[in-house]
C-alpha cells in the first residue's frame, strides 16, 4: 500500500514539506483510539531473539532510526510505535539555526537516493532536552551532537561539550558528528589531531560523570584507508564505545539520474542505494581493524532486509534506516526483523 499508493502521492510534493506533513499526520494519527494497539500488530515484532546487548544497553531489536529524521526530538513516542529498536535524534547544536537556504532536500527516484544539504537545522539542544524530559516511551535514544555553523573549528569543542552536558540526563548514548558535508569545514575535524583532541576532551568529561554514557563517532564514507586507520587508532586511544559507518557521501559516481539534474541540485550529501556498497566496505574494514569491544552501527543504503543482513554480516552490531525508510515505508522495519528471525 505504501509503495503503490502513498509514496507516489507523497513524491509529487516538495520533499521537505512532505516530511513535515507526514510527521504531523503520524502524531495526529497516534492520538486516535486503538491506534497504538493497531501499530503493534502491523509494525512491531517482539521476540527475545532480536535483542542485542551493545554498549552496555539492551536493544529490543537492532533496527534504529538514523539521525536527521527527528532532529528536534519531536516524534520519539510515535517512531517508537513503528517498531524501531532505538532512535537517534539530532544533529543538535548549542544554538538554534535555520540551516542552509531552501530547497535543500532532493529525491533521485531512479537511484533510490536522496541528496540533502540541510545544514544542521534545529531549534537548539535545550529545546530538545525539554521534549525528551516529557516523552512517554522508554525506547533507547541516542543524542547526535555537532557545532553551530558560525562556530570556528578552533572553538568547536565548546559546542560539543555544551550539547553533551545538556543531553547527558535524557539520552542513552552520544554520537559525535564530524562527518556531515553540509556545515563548512566540519569534516576537517575528522583529521587526526583535531579529532583526537575533540574526542579526548569529550571522553574526559564523560568519564567524570557518575555513570559515563556510551560515546560513538560518526564517520564519512569518503575516507581513504590511511584516514580509516587514523580513526581506528583514535577510537582505541580514546576508548570509544562505537563507530557509526557511515554518513552521507559527496560522491556522485554511478548515478542513473542525468548529469544535468545532478548539476542543477548542486552540493549536498548523497544517501540511499548508491551508498550501500561503500558503507558496507567501510564497516567490513573497521571490523577487521578495531578492537572487538568497540562496536559498529551500520547505516547507508539499507533499502531491503538483505541490505541489513549484509551490514550485520560485515561486522555491524546494529543498523539504522533513513533513506530506506522514506522509499520503502515503515514496513521495512518489520521486514528486517522478520528476516533476522528466519
Cite the annotated binding site by residue number.
Answer: 67-71, 91, 116-120, 144, 177, 182, 218, 246-248, 272, 301, 322-323
- Strand partners of residue 87: 65, 141
If one counts every other C-beta atom within 10 angstroms of the C-beta of residue 67, the result is: 27
As annotated, the binding site for substrate includes 71, 116-120, 177, 182, 247-248
Cis peptide before 69 (omega within 30 of 0): no
* Dihedral angle of Cα 98, 118, 102, 6, to the nearest 10 degrees: -120
C-alpha 177, offset from chain centre: 10
DSSP codes of every residue in 50-104: G-EEETTEEESSSEEEPTTSSTTSS-HHHHHHTT-SEEEEEEE-SS-B--SPSP-
Would you call 251 a catalytic residue per the annotation? no
Q: 214's torsion region: left (phi>0), alpha (psi -120 to 50) or beta?
A: beta
Residue 332: is it exposed, middle or buried by C-beta count within 10 angstroms (0-12/13-18/19+)?
Answer: buried
Q: 247: which residues sit within 8 A by CB, 6+ positions away? A: 177, 179, 180, 181, 218, 219, 220, 221, 269, 300
How far is residue 225's CA from residue 231's CA, in Å, rounded to a whole number? 10
Q: Region of 152 please: left (phi>0), alpha (psi -120 to 50) or beta.
A: beta
Q: Choose the catalytic residue: 180, 241, 271, 279.
A: 180
- Known catalytic residues are 180
Amino acid at each position: 500500500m505504501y509503495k503503490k499508493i502513498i509514496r507516489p502521492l507523497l513524491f509529487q510534493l516538495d520533499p521537505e514539506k512532505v516530511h513535515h506533513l507526514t510527521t504531523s499526520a503520524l502524531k495526529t494519527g497516534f492520538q486516535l483510539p486503538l491506534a497504538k494497539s493497531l501499530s503493534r500488530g502491523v509494525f512491531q515484532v517482539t521476540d527475545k531473539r532480536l535483542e542485542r546487548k551493545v554498549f552496555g544497553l539492551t536493544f529490543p531489536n537492532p533496527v534504529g532510526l538514523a539521525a536527521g529524521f527527528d532532529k528536534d526530538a519531536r516524534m520519539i513516542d510515535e517512531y517508537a510505535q513503528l517498531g524501531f529498536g532505538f532512535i537517534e535524534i539530532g544533529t543538535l547544536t548549542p544554538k538554534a539555526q535555520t540551516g542552509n537556504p531552501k530547497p535543500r532536500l532532493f529525491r533521485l527516484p531512479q537511484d533510490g537516493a536522496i541528496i540533502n544539504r540541510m545544514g544542521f537545522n534545529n531549534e537548539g539542544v535545550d529545546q530538545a532536552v525539554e521534549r525528551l524530559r516529557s516523552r512517554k516511551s522508554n525506547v533507547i535514544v541516542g543524542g547526535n551532537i555537532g557545532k553551530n555553523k558560525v562556530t570556528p573549528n578552533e572553538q568547536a569543542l565548546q559546542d560539543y561539550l555544551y550539547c553533551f552536558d545538556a543531553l547527558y540526563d535524557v539520552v542513552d548514548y552520544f554520537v559525535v558528528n564530524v562527518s556531515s558535508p553540509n556545515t563548512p569545514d566540519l569534516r576537517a575535524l575528522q583529521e587526526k589531531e583535531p579529532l583526537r583532541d575533540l574526542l579526548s576532551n569529550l571522553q574526559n568529561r564523560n568519564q567524570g560523570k557518575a555513570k559515563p554514557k556510551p560515546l560513538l563517532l560518526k564517520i564519512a564514507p569518503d575516507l581513504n584507508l590511511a584516514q580509516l586507520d587514523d580513526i581506528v587508532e583514535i577510537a582505541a586511544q580514546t576508548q570509544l564505545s562505537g563507530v557509526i559507518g557511515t554518513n552521507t557521501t559527496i560522491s556522485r559516481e554511478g548515478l542513473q539520474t542525468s548529469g544535468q539534474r545532478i548539476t542543477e541540485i548542486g552540493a549536498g550529501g548523497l544517501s540511499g542505494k548508491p551508498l550501500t556498497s561503500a558503507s558496507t566496505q567501510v564497516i567490513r574494514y573497521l571490523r577487521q581493524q578495531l578492537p572487538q569491544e568497540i562496536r559498529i552501527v551500520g547505516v547507508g543504503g539499507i533499502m531491503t532486509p538483505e541490505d541489513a543482513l549484509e551490514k550485520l554480516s560485515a561486522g555491524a552490531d546494529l543498523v539504522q534506516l533513513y533513506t530506506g525508510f522514506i522509499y520503502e515505508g515503515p514496513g521495512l522495519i518489520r521486514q528486517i526483523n522478520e528476516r533476522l528471525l528466519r
